[in-house]
Amino acid sequence: MKTKHILFLLIALHFILFIPRATAQENKSNEPVKLKILCYNLRFGELASLEELAGFIKSQNPDMVALQEVDVKTHRPRAPHQNGKDFITELGFRTGMLTAYAKTIPHEGGYYGIGILSKFPFVETRRIMLPFPEGAKEQRAMLFSNIELPNGQLLTFVCTHLDYTISSVRQEQVKALNETLKGNPYPMIVCGDFNATPDSPEINQGMAAWKQVTNSDFTIPANNPKSKIDYIFCFPEKQWKVISTETPRVPFSDHLPVNADLELTF
């Protein structure tokens, strides 16, 4: 009798350990996935309310959003209407999206950094500091995330904001970004304010291996755009198809947002 009980327990244990793993594998699909991506430097909310920013994001209906100049509980004299507000949490609440945040520097009693909004769940998020070489003015970072898509596959989504000073600093930061992501096993999207024009070495050389999926429209200053410094990049190129791209003309920041409708194949 005891032998039968032991055999029953072993069979039950086998099902507990192995069936969930098989089920998770079966839930993955190689069907193409369509994604809408939005990238936006918010200028710490100086020119708009969080309600206006969230309303614009919702109107775009993105799957993932990369945000730069995101304040949390700061008290800026230039943006008193934002005093003490937690941008990323409030934008997540107002858009109904999941959130991730990376502080880059302490500022005015709170934090200044970068954030991600996502319709889909995060499997992992990490803040990775970028180099701070001679000539840099502010510490910068990349916010790394792995996100589970509806078909069960994983996508790496990265938000960054490079230094605004000199090209040599940004070149070091782009080099570090590429080294960090080298060998990553999942398809990738990198979005951000690179503070660099398309003909700069940090873009035309540093990001040469990536597929640049935004159009050539200028993004700054928003009221009279004269240069492009905001981008969405994808890798590997063969897995990504651009369906459409746009630079919406909205007055909520000194930057214009950029978006792209993409198809990802596996």
- All domains in the chain, ordered by first residue: 28-264 (3.60.10.10)
In which element (H, E) is residue 172 found?
helix 167-181
Q: Given this model, what pLDDT does residue 27 score?
A: 72
pLDDT confidence of residue 59: 98
pLDDT reported for residue 257: 98
Distance CA 126, CA 105 (A): 16
What does the pLDDT read at residue 26? Answer: 53
Backbone φ and ψ for 79, nearest 5 degrees, come out as -140, 60
Per-residue DSSP letter, 256: P
Backbone φ and ψ of 201, nearest 5°:
-65, -30
Predicted local confidence at residue 122, as pLDDT: 98
- The overall longest dimension of the chain from CA atoms, in Å, is 84
Along the 266 residues of the chain, how does pLDDT read in single tens digits? 444 444 444 444 344 344 344 444 457 889 999 999 999 999 999 999 999 999 999 999 999 999 999 999 999 999 999 999 999 999 999 999 999 999 999 999 999 999 999 999 999 999 999 999 999 999 999 999 999 999 999 999 999 999 999 999 999 999 999 999 999 999 999 999 999 999 999 999 999 999 999 999 999 999 999 999 999 999 999 999 999 999 999 999 999 999 999 999 99
Q: Does residue 221 have a cis peptide bond before it, meaning omega lies within 30 degrees of 0? A: yes
Strands (E), 134-236: 141-148, 154-161, 188-193, 211-212, 230-235
- Predicted pLDDT at 11: 40
What's the CA dihedral at 69, 74, 77, 81 to 10 degrees?
90
Specify the pLDDT at position 138.
95
Separation of alpha carbons 226 and 122, rounded Å:
36
Which residues have CB under 8 Å from 11's CB, separation 6+? Answer: none
Predicted local confidence at residue 24, as pLDDT: 44
Cα distances (angstroms) measured from residue 111 to each of 114, 248, 260: 10, 28, 29
What pLDDT does 166 receive?
Answer: 97
Q: The pTM is what?
A: 0.90
Q: Any bridge partners for residue 35, and if so which?
A: 262
Q: What are phi and psi of 8, to 5 degrees?
A: -60, -45
Tell me the β-bridge partners of 158.
144, 190
